[in-house]
Amino acid sequence: MSDYNFAYLDEQTKRMIRRAILKGIAIPGYQVPFASREMPMPYGWGTGGVQVTAACLTPDDRLKVIDQGADDTTNAVSIRKFFERTAEVATTTVTSEASVIQTRHRIPEEALSEDQILVYQVPIPEPLRFLEPRETETRKMHALEEYGLMHVKLYEDIARHGHIATSYAYPVKVEGRYVMDPSPIPKFDNPKLEMAAIQLFGAGREQRIYAIPPYTQVVSLDFEDHPFEATKAPAPCDLCGAGDSYLDEVITDDEGGRMFVCSDTDFCTTRQAAGHRGRLSPIEEATA
Amino acid sequence: MTPLLSVRGLRKTYGGRIGCEDVSFDLYPGEVMGIVGESGSGKSTLLNCMAGHLAPDAGEVLFDTRDRGPVDTLRMSEPERRMLGRTDWAFVHQNARDGLRMSVSAGGNVGERLMAVGARHYGDIRGKALDWLDRVEIAADRVDDRPSAFSGGMQQRLQIARNLVTGPRLVFMDEPTGGLDVSVQARLLDLLRGLVREMGLSAIIVTHDLAVVRLLADRIMVMKGGRVVEAGLTDQVLDDPQHAYSQLLVSSVLQV
């Protein structure tokens, strides 16, 4: 391990990132520019989240990394190994045991506590980007709180689909001030953004860090006659029977067969270990 | 009577070149002012300075705001000026593509200004958008089409609807009929004239087309080399031009 500084980045870089994080926490939802470094992984693989995690980690931390809720997908495994090797921190897959959780596209089902940090990987931090391509203009819109354009996007959704069809990266207003892209989490997770843990968002390629401090008000944008709705597949988990978790749909054959499973693998296995069973649980276990 | 807009000693230079110089005039509520002149005479510079798109070097632009009376818009804070740009002012670009969001449906384009000033009820926004599309003669079944699927004349009418939906009191128009064929121009002018009279709008229209000002404007200013060379009632200036350049301009129009 002596080949690397603790958590890969040099201390000056970590200081610079911590300053950006502190500023982000001081101004909830505001995108703080920072000097993103080249990381030993491609853009789009969580370079922003990795830098934020590196700046937050201490040798006593216990790290959990999830990708779409799962602990065992490529992205999650490689980032977990990266920090095992460069920081030699303990890792875990159990949500409640982790002190730092880096996530891509999900918030864990289990409620987080005040001594935890949730780090998001963000591809495009600017919620207005696809409506207004000019960075100078979007910065001005944030500064002057001109957010009418965000509703134009929702208007277009209703005009085209009859309801707000945006199902992920659903824009939110933080503490009544900044409109923020909560990274591509499903809108099912939006109500969970008001939580006890610190939430940090890192966008490596776009060089932005932003944050939601604990217990901050986060409101999903909507229309009076088309209120926000947190949606999920209308089924229980086929492995653990949970009816209140976010589900992945898995195609099981080419004859229309499918199953729904919790996208949060830790949540699902914990429930199964506690004896909960779903429609497709192995029968010998169910009878045992 | 307080002028709605009063411009005093406006000057804008581009390095050593003059954009416009020493322009002063008053515009009263309900009045339509035409600014004519050849290309490069400073018409668009003047319009952009008044609308806050360019920062002039000297002068003031006093606008009679609803709550505070006449205020110099050039010394207003930027949020205030931009708010004015979304509510009491409207700007119709020569090229409709500059004034529209091409990737957003016609209804969304009209609704944007409403949402920008706080409308949050989809049904109301859509109702207003449909109403305005009807007023500018765009069929209701095109409300969800993107402007890129519209003809040039429809795009221009859509731009006008999008600008007028918040009931502005002052409209800046930069060559509103430029680039349209004559029959479409005629319909657009007819429509504009109707809207201006019906809503009691004040407007400043920049154009090089004398027919446009003849139809729409109460008063005109003739510009040359960045300066106003002649100003007066439209019919008076066009029928009896005094300045050599105005005479040239009037006599240059082809009689069919």
* Mean pLDDT within B174-191: 86
Q: What is the pLDDT of residue B177?
A: 86
**Amino acid making up residue A261:** V
* Mean pLDDT within B99-124: 94
**Amino acid making up residue B187:** R
Lowest mean pLDDT among A17-21, A156-160, B65-69, B129-133: B65-69
Q: What is the pLDDT of residue B187?
A: 86
Tens of pLDDT along chain A (288 residues)? 568 899 999 999 999 999 999 999 999 999 999 999 999 999 989 999 999 999 999 999 999 999 999 999 999 999 999 999 999 999 999 999 999 999 999 999 999 999 999 999 999 999 999 888 999 999 999 999 999 999 999 999 999 999 999 999 999 999 999 999 999 999 999 999 999 999 999 999 999 999 999 999 999 999 999 999 999 899 999 999 999 999 999 999 999 999 999 999 999 999 999 999 999 888 655 454
Say which of A131, A152, A160 has its CB closest to residue B111.
A152
User: Residue B35: phi, psi to the nearest 5?
Assistant: -120, 115
- Angle at the Cα of A12 from the Cα atoms of A9 and A15, rounded to 5 degrees: 95
Q: What is the pLDDT of residue A284?
A: 58
User: Which residues of A are known to be catalytic?
Assistant: 29, 237, 240, 262, 268
Q: What is the pLDDT of residue A288?
A: 46
Q: What is the pLDDT of residue B209?
A: 85
* Mean pLDDT within B105-129: 95
Would an 8 Å CB–CB cutoff place A152 in contact with chain B?
yes
Which of B82, B103, B120 to mutate to test binding with chain A, by most A CBs within 10 Å of its CB?
A: B120
Helix (H, G, I), strand (E, B) or coil at B20: strand
CB contact under 8 A, A152 and B113: no
Is residue A265 within 8 A of residue A70, CB to CB? The reply is: yes
Per-residue pLDDT tens digits for B38-52 = 888 999 999 999 999
Would an 8 Å CB–CB cutoff place A144 in contact with chain B?
yes
B209 or B32, which is more confident: B32
Q: What is the pLDDT of residue A264?
A: 95
Nearest CA distance, B103 vs chain A (angstrom): 8
Contacts of A224 in chain B (CB under 8 A): 120-122
* Mean pLDDT within B126-138: 94
Q: C-alpha A277: how far from its chain's center? A: 28
